[in-house]
Amino acid sequence: MIEAIHREMVYLWYYCMVQLEQIFWYWVLGMVLGSAVSVFAKDAIHNSLRSLGARRLGVFGIVAAAVLGIASPLCMYGTIPIAASFSRSGIRDDWLAAFMMSSILLNPQLIVYSAALGTAALAVRILSCFLCGVLAGLLVRIFYRERSFFDFTGFDEPKSRDTDPNILLRFLKNLGRNIKATGLYFLLGIILSALFQRYVPQELMTSLFGGNKAFGVLMAATIGVPLYACGGGTIPLLQAWLLDGMSLGSAAVFMITGPATKITNLGAVKIVLGVRRFLLYLGFVMSFSLLTGWSVNMFL
């Protein structure tokens, strides 16, 4: 009995080390880039959106807002107060919808993490998150042209935590907070990935997420809701699942529904949308993710 337990621990340690070797440097580079953007470029990114408000860009403003949302390093709870300040400075709701939707789904740090999944998965993630933001903005523009979509009552722009006068210390402190926020989830993702590789047969993963691609997309949409906790923590899982036969379309669905329905993000979104528009948000996310997954499986 003890021998069997020891053997299993050795197997799990091996899987953990293999996974860690494959993905560790992506995690490190992602944190360094995320902290650098947060400390040195965040204000420039947000000021760029503010400056666009004075221009008559129309639909093109939605496209620009979606790009800036992806470039923004803030989490959802940081994005909403910023969006509130944008709204007070005159930025349109359709632009804000594009900015917030793409910001929920992707940021520079997560882009680097996702590079560990391969070029195709990275390209699908970036493009789908961008299009999701653009479409969200277009829908708000069409159906809420004469009405307010957001309610930012009570939200003030957050005070920056990156205030140390020494620029190197400012960066290192931000990096320390980044490690603290993502490290545990990253290690948990490595452990879960090792458990899946050791105890879940590859044939089962293939049948669930790869064999019947339409069914696999639905399954990915379903598990994306409860399983997603942190972007960095899910990359090891996705890497293992893709190796075990998960289709790229199913992975794309998971990468959209996961962050969009993350419990902390849902709580923040519901505050500014109210019940009715919050339900519209959920319906939009699920519909877009399923359409994306089926399209990816059809063409790639």
> 148 φ, ψ to 5°?
-80, 135
pLDDT digits over 271-291, tens only?
A: 889 899 999 999 999 999 999
Percent of the chain with pLDDT over 70: 89
Round to whole Å and give the CA distance between 246 and 51.
43
DSSP 160: P
- The pLDDT assigned to 228 comes to 65
- The pLDDT assigned to 130 comes to 97
pLDDT digits over 54-71, tens only?
A: 677 778 999 999 999 999
pLDDT digits over 92-113, tens only?
A: 999 999 999 999 899 999 999 9
- The pLDDT assigned to 101 comes to 94
Amino acid of residue 103: S
The residue that leads in pLDDT, 208 or 294, is 294
Mean pLDDT, range 145-158, rounded to an integer:
79
Alpha helix stretches (DSSP H) within the chain: 2-36, 42-52, 59-71, 76-88, 93-105, 108-114, 119-143, 167-199, 202-206, 213-227, 231-243, 248-260, 263-299
- pLDDT, averaged across the chain: 85
Confidence of residue 227 (pLDDT cuts 50, 70, 90): low
List Cβ neighbours of 55 (8 Å cut-off, separation of 6 or more).
Answer: 61
Mean pLDDT, range 141-153, rounded to an integer:
88
- The pLDDT assigned to 207 comes to 67
Confidence of residue 208 (pLDDT cuts 50, 70, 90): low
Mean pLDDT, range 217-245, rounded to an integer:
74
